[in-house]
Chain A
Amino acid sequence: MNSVLIDLQHISKVFPPATVALSDVSVSFRSGEIHALVGENGAGKTTLMKVLYGLERRDRGDILLRGTHVDFRNPREAIAAGIGMVHQEILLIPEYTIWQNVVLGAEPVHALGALDIRTARERVARKIDEFQFNLDPDAPVGSISVAARQKVEILKLLYRDVSVLILDEPTAVLAPQEVGQLFLELQHLRDKGHTIIFISHRLDEVLGLSDQVTVMRRGKAVATSPASRLTKEELARQMVGRSVVFAAERSPAEPGEPVLVAQGLTVRTTDGRDALDQVSLQVRSGEILGVAGVEGNGQFELVNAIMGLSTIAAGSLFVQGIDLSHADILTRRRFISFVPQDRGRMGASLPASILENAIMTHHILDRSFRRWRGLALNYRRAIALTRQIQHQFDVSMENAAAPFQSLSGGNQQKVILGRELLLEAPLVLMDQPTRGLDVGSTEYVHGLLLDLRNRKKAVLLVSADLDEVFTVADRIIVMSRGQLVADLRTEETTREEVGYYMLGGKDAVHAQADI
């Protein structure tokens, strides 16, 4: 057994006034292992790592590195001690090349402070070779894929000679094949003697990759065990504190008439590129159509084209036989319930009250919200709707006048879902509806989607999470480079096949060879 490298003892952290983020957490990380830290959102995984990394102060507890007490006041000190963290959101400068991003803050210099460009490039290139990262040091970061950016983040830490890598949900933005590639690279790093702490809530990944697994729940470390002795069900039970049903009960679909009919939808960017290229699709009532694809391959443009948020250069859009190709957004809202991907920006106004967020769109479309010919709002009606959403969608909130941002992520999404579904529109468009939600809330949303199908709504679900698409969708279309590259029946396809289409082109051939 390897020696203990990092020992966290009795760590406690309270966010004022009284949110207990960590309570008496003790975990040991051994050198040369991949140690997964799993738990639902808000379980304290990230907070624990931030405490270790010097980004958060702890209230109690000790941190030991190789047996000696350490107390990093900022990430810089942690990195100097050989501990590096890759955050959930990627922090790079798109205007800089890969080598510039990597050396930033630790640049080799000539006399007079001139950047020693040759040495810098060479060092970065050597690290890339050493860890077999397959990156071009001169490529601008703005032009490379998300997976490559993640590698640049890791490279940045390796350049600073860290021996411990903390990765916060690194797979959230990757396609299945890219996840496989990342895992190979992480195993390679471990074999070279690095220690990897891996935060995740995807159970399959955790079991496939790690040596040790620590489960956290509500700020406590529940258990640490070798991955080889765990099953997915056991892990889920530890995480949630109860048994979880993985396969949502899905009866065979009985689709009816087409509700959404789109022909040749094309959206052009300002530089003349077709971000959405001749996409045609149909969604029938009582059917869930899943849109899969690596992010940034036209899904967002498709959503915008359907909602009227961007103007289509060509094509047509009909909902229930009504031409909406060039209709304004308000007209479309009568036919389409819309849950956007960005809760905090497009889905809701965070500083506005829960009530104000709950009645958005309703107060325009539904005349009963008006008083005095629309000069005033019918508050009684507004409160009634908010209460209805609260009860029907099981939102835990105290005061409807409280700011929306005081709700947890899951509850925010429930309010938005409630608002949209109570519009009772024939078409429901959901863009990443479970992003950032914990297992419990995700389960709830999936149940809701299947219920919509039973009520003969047409559902278009855009998701970067393949598991989600496979769980709920009846049909799966795959987008790549703005085009619709595959239209598959869920029962007749596999994740690998969808992944193959997601990567498209040359990459796809490699990916298939790997499988």
Chain B
Amino acid sequence: MSVFYGLYSAMLVGATPILLAAIGGAFTYYAGIFNIAMEGMMLVGAFCAVLGSFFLHSWILGIVCSIAGALVMAGIFVLFAVRLHTDEFLTGIALNLFAVGLTTFLLRDIFHVKGAFTDPRIVAIPAVTVPFLGQIPVVGRLVSGYNAIIYVALAVTVVAAYVIFRTSFGLRLRAAGYNAACLNSSGVQTPAIRVWSLMLCAICCGLAGAYLSLGSVRLFAENMSAGRGWISLAAVILVSGNPWGVGIISLLFGFFDGLTVFLQGSAIPTQFTAMIPYVATLVSLYFYSVRKRKA
């Protein structure tokens, strides 16, 4: 039983940052932006979260800083890809590389450490005990006692699905992706919709980053996003942006991510277990393409 609970919570821990970033990616996907900058937004978010939490002694302010950092990244993306019409792919790559360099530099410049920075003065995001449900045996352990951001991620998924499919903003957002010329001729400025989608993406990625550095652990390590932004991109593309699908895929990737942690210390060399999430991504892409060809 404890093996099951261990895997279960490892899955949630692994899935949360991917889910948040992928929901962010879903907004830009529907808006017709080829946005690969989730990785960079998440990394900058993770760094700013530690920065905020350490100096302002509050995890809430940490999250605020994280979102602000990701928004600055989104602002750069907007300036180049939306305003100046540079290539979205190149802009995304540049931002991701910039994020690695910037956070590594600031880590050394502000905290004077190499590799990772951890300090008792960093305030972590607390876990939440769900009232009533938490009391029930078995179920209680499945739904209660997890990090606050995990619950936020669930809420974000539901809200995203609502916004995308049920609101007038969602109608315009999807129209921007389906046919921008049509949206323009309907009197809506497509660039404005795209800017909004990037802002929403940045908020989601900021939350994902905050979870990485203040949720599951309490430290910032160089390049700690470790490809999760790319995996979230894979999740978005696999399900064509649908938030519910993103949720399921994220849980799947989270499961393999959790498996990696779980298998550490077993007989299998860590070099192999660390491959699991990425191999899982490739395998899912393969099955996806097979299914698509049959359809």
The answer to whether A and B belong to the same complex is yes
Does B187 sit at the interface, judged by CB under 8 A? yes
Contact partner, A115, options B168, B187, B188, Cβ 8 Å? B168
**In the complex where A104-B172, A104-B186, A106-B187 touch, is A114 in contact with B178 (Cβ < 8 A)?**
no
Does B181 sit at the interface, judged by CB under 8 A? yes
B184-202 CB mask vs A (1 if < 8 Å, else 0) is: 1111100000000000000
**In the complex where A91-B179, A93-B179, A96-B178 touch, is A105 in contact with B167 (Cβ < 8 A)?**
no
Does A92 sit at the interface, judged by CB under 8 A? yes
Nearest B residue (CB) for A108: B168
Contact partner, B168, options A75, A109, A160, Cβ 8 Å? A109
List the A side residues contacting B184 at CB < 8 Å: 75
How many of A's residues come within 8 Å of B, CB to CB? 24
**How many contacting A-B pairs (Cβ < 8 A)?**
59
Residue pair B186, A156 in contact (C-beta under 8 Å): yes
Nearest-Cβ distance from residue B137 to partner chain A, whole angstroms? 38
Residue pair A105, B188 in contact (C-beta under 8 Å): yes
Nearest B residue (CB) for A92: B182
CA distance A91 to B175 in the complex (A): 11
Does B183 sit at the interface, judged by CB under 8 A? yes
CA distance A210 to B181 in the complex (A): 30
**In the complex where A100-B171, A104-B188, A106-B187 touch, is A115 in contact with B166 (Cβ < 8 A)?**
yes
How many of B's residues come within 8 Å of A, CB to CB? 21
Nearest-Cβ distance from residue B145 to partner chain A, whole angstroms? 32
Chain B interface SS verdict (over half): helix
Contact partner, B171, options A75, A76, A79, A107, Cβ 8 Å? A107
Contact partner, A87, options B168, B178, B185, B188, Cβ 8 Å? B185
List the B side residues contacting A92 at CB < 8 Å: 179, 182
Does A95 sit at the interface, judged by CB under 8 A? yes
Residue pair B171, A104 in contact (C-beta under 8 Å): yes
CA distance A350 to B181 in the complex (A): 22
Nearest-Cβ distance from residue A197 to partner chain B, whole angstroms? 17
Does A113 sit at the interface, judged by CB under 8 A? yes
List the A side residues contacting B167 at CB < 8 Å: 109, 112-115
List the B side residues contacting A94 at CB < 8 Å: 178
Nearest-Cβ distance from residue B122 to partner chain A, whole angstroms? 36
Does B169 sit at the interface, judged by CB under 8 A? yes
Residue pair A91, B166 in contact (C-beta under 8 Å): no
Max chain B C-beta neighbours (<10 A), residue from A79, A93, A96, A100: A93
Residue pair A76, B187 in contact (C-beta under 8 Å): yes
List the A side residues contacting B174 at CB < 8 Å: 95
CA distance A115 to B166 in the complex (A): 6
Residue pair B187, A113 in contact (C-beta under 8 Å): no
Residue pair B169, A104 in contact (C-beta under 8 Å): no
Residue pair A75, B166 in contact (C-beta under 8 Å): no
**In the complex where A104-B188, A105-B188 touch, is A91 in contact with B182 (Cβ < 8 A)?**
yes
Nearest B residue (CB) for A109: B168
Contact partner, A104, options B162, B163, B166, B182, Cβ 8 Å? B182
Residue pair A114, B166 in contact (C-beta under 8 Å): yes
CA distance A103 to B185 in the complex (A): 12
Residue pair B178, A104 in contact (C-beta under 8 Å): no
Nearest-Cβ distance from residue B141 to partner chain A, whole angstroms? 35
Residue pair A104, B175 in contact (C-beta under 8 Å): yes
Residue pair A107, B181 in contact (C-beta under 8 Å): no
Max chain B C-beta neighbours (<10 A), residue from A75, A91, A101, A109: A91
CA distance A109 to B110 in the complex (A): 48
Residue pair B181, A91 in contact (C-beta under 8 Å): yes
List 29 interface pairs A-B (beta carbons < 8 Å), by A numbering.
A75-B187, A91-B181, A91-B182, A92-B182, A93-B178, A93-B179, A95-B178, A96-B171, A101-B182, A104-B171, A104-B182, A104-B183, A104-B188, A105-B172, A105-B186, A105-B187, A105-B188, A109-B167, A109-B168, A112-B167, A113-B163, A113-B167, A113-B168, A113-B169, A114-B168, A115-B167, A115-B168, A115-B170, A115-B171
Known: A109-B167, A115-B170. 11 other contacts (CB 8 A): A79-B187, A91-B185, A93-B182, A96-B171, A103-B171, A105-B183, A106-B186, A113-B163, A114-B162, A114-B166, A114-B168
Residue numbers of B with Cβ under 8 A of A are: 162-163, 166-172, 174-175, 178-179, 181-188
